[in-house]
Amino acid sequence: MHQLTLAKISQALADKQFSARELTSHLLARIEQFDPQLNSFITVNQEAALQQADAADAQRSAGATSALLGVPLAHKDLFCTKDVRTSCASKTLDNFIAPYNATIVEKFNTAGCVSLGKLNMDEFAMGSSGETSFYGASKNPWDTSRVPGGSSSGSAVAVAARLVPAATGSDSGGSIRQPAAFNGLTGIKPTYGRISRWGMTAYASSFDQAGFLAHNAQDCALLLQATAGFDERDSTSAQQPVDDYTAALAQPLQGLRIGLPKEYFDSRLDARIGDVVHSAIEQLKQLGATFVDISLPTLPHAVPAYYVIASAEASTNLARFDGVRFGHRCDDPKDLEDLYTRSRNEAFGDEVKRRIMMGTYALSTGYYDAYYLKAQKIRRLIKNDFVSAFKDVDLILGPTTPNLPWHLGSKVNDPVAAYLEDIYTVPANLAGIPGLSMPAGMIDGLPVGVQLQAPYFQEARMLNVAHQFQQHTDWHAQAPAGF
């Protein structure tokens, strides 16, 4: 059962090949068996999950036919889940029990999904490796000595190891697409505002976007169909019609024009990953797509612009974690300043402190114009580059990451080296466009991802290309040995 995709699970439940309770029990047993070596879960909702499964079975017996009814998944631990700890993988929120459900969780509950628990991540989504978690690093199931990517590390690991068929994630600078590439998964970051951010703990509010990690594009389409749409509780939610993502999967690729930015194929890219990308290009050509060389000239400035703006927003968003209203509070504070200082110092990890300090510096008097304002101007130029490119092409294709997953601990003391690994993913967040990573090959036993980017609200187009590619390749069906 654990080898089935989400779509096949849905069909099997409809055909009564097994019950939601049988499937949930099977996956809970796998979590108990394998997660101690992977560390993908922070909280496992065993009792609640079985209750949800029983409720789904009862609804199916009564004639309900929802596509996701009884389908198990798990949530990245920054989405609020009522009566369940929502920690953001931080000591700060280790004792925080959310009093309500995030919109995305609410929509999955309405669809009848079974939540197996909350997944590990980089603390407050700040990291690209999964190593900044208060609960310890998650391990890449393809090679447990290597990072799984981040910040949606636990989401990627749990899906890749077949502990759960799909998981929610969040993507502020590549935090879905990069771990998807490192773990042989399909990961989608929709257009900014496509899925409500209400109930998602903020890191960088103008970048954060909920999305999914699953085995293939069809599964991602089912998940997006259930969650996309306007939410009046979220001021950044887009009032745009929702496409039929599953219906668009079968469209042929004849006549599709895909751009290849020259900036994605320079000396920063591991040549072996470049070969995988070019193999994917050849496959898509056989399916009818044509390719056009394009340029995104401001791409080299994307990483510094992103980290200035994102850190500035983080310094503002994390000011609320002060030890007063909720979360960690230091013992016996002498006064209010001591309470603030020690509570935050004791509870935040090094990377979170680093970004708060960077962001506060960039926003301070005398440096706002030199750093923050300049970064925002670069952001607009990057957006303009994409808008201009999409006048000539339907999609953009390139590598998801410049390198293979690195060994655990090798970049902990060199944060800039880790930041530079985001060079191909952060531009989509700066512009707010959708992006998707799909498995396209293997190097030394490790998966490699290829990234698609599309114009605003054209997720259906990306999912269509990925699905057609996956109909003629089997990289997405590969599983790590032992899982």
What residues are annotated to the active site? 76, 151, 175
Q: Return the closest-CA partner of residue 31 out of 119, 94, 149, 125.
A: 119
Residue 38 corresponds to which tokens in the numbers above?
A: 């992977």
CB 49 within 8 A of CB 114: yes
How many beta carbons lie within 10 A of that of residue 219, not counting itself?
A: 27
- Classified as helix, coil or strand, 4 is coil
Question: How far is 402 from 371, CA to CA, in rounded Å?
Answer: 26
- Classified as helix, coil or strand, 75 is strand
Q: What are phi and psi of 358, to 5 degrees?
A: -60, -45
How many beta carbons lie within 10 A of that of residue 128, not counting itself?
A: 30
Question: What is the distance, to the nearest Å, from the Cα of residue 437 to the centroid of all Cα atoms in its chain?
Answer: 10
**Sign (positive/negative) of CA torsion 113, 105, 141, 264?**
positive
Instruction: Give all strands (DSSP E) within 190-289, no chain letters.
Output: 210-214, 257-261
Q: Return the closest-CA partner of residue 396 out of 276, 256, 298.
A: 256
**Sign (positive/negative) of CA torsion 321, 418, 304, 296?**
negative
Beta-strand pair 290-294/395-399 = unpaired
Residue 483 corresponds to which tokens in the numbers above?
A: 């899982």
- In our burial notation (b when 16+ CB lie closer than 10 A, e otherwise), range 376-402 reads eebbebbbebbeebbeebbbbbbbbbb
Indicate the Cα dihedral angle 402, 184, 161, 124, nearest 10°.
Answer: 40
Q: State the helix-helix crossing angle for 302-317 and 374-389, rounded to 10 degrees.
A: 120
What is the per-residue DSSP string for 307-375? HHHHHHHHHHHGGG-SSSSSS---SS-SSHHHHHHHHHHHHS-HHHHHHHHHHHHHHSTTTIIIIIIHH
First-to-last alpha carbon distance for the chain, in angstroms, is: 12
- Overall residue count recorded for the chain in this entry: 483
